[in-house]
Amino acid sequence: MNRPELRFPQHLIEKATRSDNEFGWKEADVLNVIEAAKQMQMATIGGQVQYVFPDATCELYWLSYDSEDRKRNEDWVTFCSRTAIECSEKFKQLETIDIEKEAIKTFGILKIKQQSGVNLSQYRVFILYFIDKETYSERFPKHPILWLFNKLKIKK
C-alpha cells in the first residue's frame, strides 16, 4: 500500500518522526502539514499525541484531534477541506492542556526520564493520519458486494 504521507514535499517528510508505521511532526509543523495535505487533496483523518523514544513509545490516545467520517454524497475536495479544518481546530484546543503533566501522570517511564534530566518536549510528537482518494476508494468501495466478488475472484 502506498502511504499518502510519502507524497508530501521532501522538506515535510524530513521533519517527520516515524513511530512504527505512523508519521508524526513537532507541534510547530502540524498545521503546515495539515494544510499541505488539503492542498494535495488528502483528507486528514486525525491523530494523537505520542512521546517517542528509542526504547519506548507512550501514546496519549485520549489527546486526539480526529475528524468526522466522510458525509454521504460529500465530494472529495469538500471532504479534504472539512477534515483539515476539523483537525486543525481540535489540535489547537490541545493548547489548553498541560500535555507533559498528563503524560507524566500516566506513564511512569516519563517521570523517570524527566527526573534523570531528559527534556521530554524534545520527544513529543503529534501523529497524523491521512487518506487519499485512491486509498479511500479501495477501503470504502461504492459497491462493497462487487468489491468482495472481485477480491475473492467469484464469478457473477
pLDDT exceeds 90 at position 45? yes
pLDDT exceeds 90 at position 82? yes
> What whole-number percentage of the chain has pLDDT above 70?
88
pLDDT exceeds 90 at position 31? yes
Region 87-111: what's the mean pLDDT? Answer: 97
Region 110-134: what's the mean pLDDT? Answer: 95
Please tell me the predicted confidence (pLDDT) of residue 4.
Answer: 86
Please tell me the predicted confidence (pLDDT) of residue 147.
Answer: 46
Which residue, chain included where needed, has cell 483539515? 84
Better-predicted residue by pLDDT, 131 or 140 = 131
pLDDT exceeds 50 at position 15? yes
Q: Mean pLDDT over all residues of the chain? A: 89
| Alpha helix (H) residue ranges in 1-155 | 10-15, 27-39, 76-93, 99-106, 108-115, 133-139, 144-152
Dist. CA 137–CA 116, nearest whole Å: 48
Please tell me the predicted confidence (pLDDT) of residue 140.
Answer: 67
Listing DSSP states for 59-75 in one string gives: EEEEEE-PPPPPPTT--
Domain boundaries, the chain: 4-152
